[in-house]
Amino acid sequence: MKTFILAISSVAFLFSPSLIFSKEKADTLISMQESQQLALGISTSKAKLVERAWGISFPAKVIVPNSQLRVVATPLGGLLESLKVSEGEEVEKGQILAIVHSQELLEKQGEYLEALIELDLDSTVRGQQLLGKQSDYLGALVELNLAATEMNRDKSLSLKGVISRQRFQESTAKYRQLKTRVEQYQQSLELAGMSKAAVVKLKRTQKMSPYDLARNESKSLKYQESSVKYRQLKTRAEHFRQVLELAGMSKSAIKTLTKTHKLSPLLEVKSPLSGVVLDQSVTPGSQLESLDPIYKVGYLTPLWIEIHVPLDKLGDVTIDTKVRIVNPPLEGKVITVGRMVHGADQGVLVRATVNEKTDQLRPGQFVQSQIAHSNGNNVKWFRIPRNSLVRNNEKTWVFLKKKNGFQPLPIKIEKEEADSLVISGDISNDLAVVINGAAALKSIWLEGAE
């Protein structure tokens, strides 16, 4: 064993005896007493084994996912009468956000009621027509029954010789004519939409009913035209009803309008989702055109952060790579890695989603973010402070705590973090590494090696 006595002028007055520097084989040991360590400000900490490294910090912007954003606009033009909420307030789906006094809404309501009236009139006319045919059919049945009675009586009298055979033939001809007429009326009812069962019921009960002709398909050209007209009117009324729904009227409000025929120009603009009001675009008293924006509402869980990562720092970033925000301390994962390099900063867009504790973030906020780099090799990674590292002969070193001093050890820097380094080397997690005073140890080491 070869031993060296090293006297350091800069620290000699601090302690005695002199530091002992020894070298055995390829190893070097810097012997040092506890008091000497304290005088040089040397402290140690155990090396921390890690599975991933957090890269250097990049600025990121908090945004709301597109699928969670809604622009609340007025469906019809009018005067903005009142606003019920303001920026920053939480709202529920279906909550009334604004009231618009709209002349267009009155016009749409009028068109809807007019279509209903036309539909009711058409139904009434067609119902009256059906009642007329039912009446003709029942009248023909009465005449047929009377003709049958007369025919049977004349037949009996003719057989007895009381009346001539010619009179019997005349009553028989009358009966057949009336029977043909009844069959024609019956077919007319069926063509008008009545089923055979309904016709039989009418014949049995003698009770007429002006039910909807369009319920059954008609083969008559006249009633086909009538059915087409009815359907056109019904489609028109349904169209105007849907227009009112799109304008913000609820089904119950439309039902009340249908029942009372009372128009109202007040248009209620409601929230399309539960969330937070992010922006207010207008003030009460503004004149709005159709589809003018009033609010922007967003649902704030989850949130996205968008990071522009320099191309040379992108490395192994892929979908599901872990990302963390420095302050507040939150974590997320990558959902998008852009394919284009942005000209302004030569960065690639990396988008990550944060699913938990999003109430600690605000849309539009800028934060510092770090992207994780996983250890894809079988080499163990350790995290150390930047102060632990020294450089010598184009190599990087740390000092390990030994029983009687410190041993310099060459290491490899795997990843650089904001305040620390992730390294690999002949280290175990039960060994302590110098975290303060490494520069002083380097001076002792280099002077002793001369």
Could you give the count of Cα atoms lying within 13 Å of 161 in the half-sphere of its Cβ? 0
**Of the candidate ranges 346-350, 393-397, 418-422, the one whose mean pLDDT is the lowest:** 418-422
The fold for domain 67-102+268-298 equals OB fold (Dihydrolipoamide Acetyltransferase, E2P) (2.40.50)
Confidence at residue 1, expressed as pLDDT on a 0 to 100 scale: 36
Confidence at residue 70, expressed as pLDDT on a 0 to 100 scale: 96
Does 398 score more than 70 pLDDT? yes
Distance CA 373, CA 367 (A): 20
- Mean of the per-residue pLDDT values for the chain? 85
Confidence at residue 287, expressed as pLDDT on a 0 to 100 scale: 96
Higher confidence at residue 20 or residue 164?
164
Query: What is the CB neighbour count within 10 angstroms for residue 379?
Result: 11
Does 150 score more than 70 pLDDT? yes
**Of the candidate ranges 219-223, 295-299, 423-427, the one whose mean pLDDT is the lowest:** 219-223
Question: Residues with Cβ < 8 Å from 293, sequence gap 6 or more?
Answer: 71, 72, 73, 281, 282
The fold for domain 58-64+300-374 equals Elongation Factor Tu (Ef-tu); domain 3 (2.40.30)
Does 276 score more than 90 pLDDT? yes
Strand partners, 350: 307, 337
Q: Over pLDDT 90: what percentage of the chain?
A: 45
Confidence at residue 63, expressed as pLDDT on a 0 to 100 scale: 97
* Average pLDDT, integer, range 322-327: 94
Does 350 score more than 70 pLDDT? yes
Does 134 score more than 90 pLDDT? no
Does 449 score more than 80 pLDDT? no
| Domain locations along the chain | 2-47+380-413+424-449, 58-64+300-374, 67-102+268-298, 107-235
Strand partners, 325: 330, 369
Residue with tokens 């047929």: 144
Q: How confident is the model at residue 219 (pLDDT cuts 50, 70, 90)?
A: very low
Confidence at residue 231, expressed as pLDDT on a 0 to 100 scale: 81
Confidence at residue 202, expressed as pLDDT on a 0 to 100 scale: 85
| Chain segment 39-91, per-residue pLDDT in tens | 889 999 888 888 888 888 899 999 999 999 999 999 999 999 999 999 999 99
| Chain segment 226-255, per-residue pLDDT in tens | 567 778 888 899 999 999 998 888 899 999
**Of the candidate ranges 192-201, 243-252, 305-314, the one whose mean pLDDT is the lowest:** 192-201
Confidence at residue 226, expressed as pLDDT on a 0 to 100 scale: 55
Q: Are 430 and 402 in contact (CB under 8 A)?
A: no
Confidence at residue 293, expressed as pLDDT on a 0 to 100 scale: 97
Could you give the count of Cα atoms lying within 13 Å of 70 in the half-sphere of its Cβ? 20
Q: How confident is the model at residue 358 (pLDDT cuts 50, 70, 90)?
A: very high
* Average pLDDT, integer, range 197-206: 85
**Of the candidate ranges 56-65, 109-118, 254-263, 414-423, the one whose mean pLDDT is the lowest:** 414-423
* Helices of type H across 161-250: 165-191, 196-205, 221-246
